[in-house]
Amino acid sequence: MASIREEVKKHYGGIAAKVSKESKSCCCGSDGCCGDIGSDSPLYSPEYLAGLPDEAIKASLGCANPIALANLQRGETVLDLGSGGGIDVLISSRFVGETGKVYGLDMTDEMLALAEKNKKKHEAKNVEFIKGYIEDIPLGNESVDVVTSNCVINLTENKETALREAYRVLKKGGRLAIADIVELKAIPDEIRKSVGMWVGCISGALAVQEYERILKKVGFTGIEITPVNIYTKEIIKGFAEDKNLGYIYAQLDENLLDGTFAGAHVKAYR
Ligand SMILES: C[S@@+](CC[C@H](N)C(=O)[O-])C[C@H]1O[C@@H](n2cnc3c(N)ncnc32)[C@H](O)[C@@H]1O
Kindly report, residue by residue over 125-143, the tens digit of the pLDDT. Answer: 999 999 999 999 999 999 9
pLDDT at 193: 63
Q: Is the pLDDT of residue 161 over 90?
A: yes
The strand pairing partners of 225, in sequence order, are 266
Per the CB < 8 A criterion, the answer to whether 158 and 1 are in contact is: yes
Distance CA 94, CA 52 (A): 10
| Other beta carbons less than 10 A from residue 247's beta carbon | 9
How far apart are the CA of 83 and the centre of ligand 1, in A? 6
Ligand 1 atom with minimal separation from the 156 CA: 19
Q: Is the CB of 150 under 6 A from ligand 1?
A: yes
Backbone angles phi, psi at 120, to 5 degrees: -65, -45
Chain mean pLDDT for the chain: 87
The model carries a pTM of 0.91
What pLDDT digit, counting tens, does each position of 53-78 carry?
Answer: 888 898 899 999 999 999 999 999 99
**Distance between start and end Cα atoms, the chain:** 28
Q: How far is the CA of 115 from the centre of ligand 1 (A)?
A: 12
Q: For a ligand 1 pocket test, name from 25, 34, 107 the mutation site with the most ligand atoms within 8 angstroms of its C-beta.
A: 107
- CB of residue 90 inside a 6 A radius of ligand 1: no
Helix (H) or strand (E) holding 234: helix 233-242
CATH 3.40.640.10 fits 2-269, yes or no: no
Work out the number of other CB atoms within 10 angstroms of the CB of residue 234. 9
**Cα dihedral across residues 189, 195, 197, 199: positive or negative:** positive
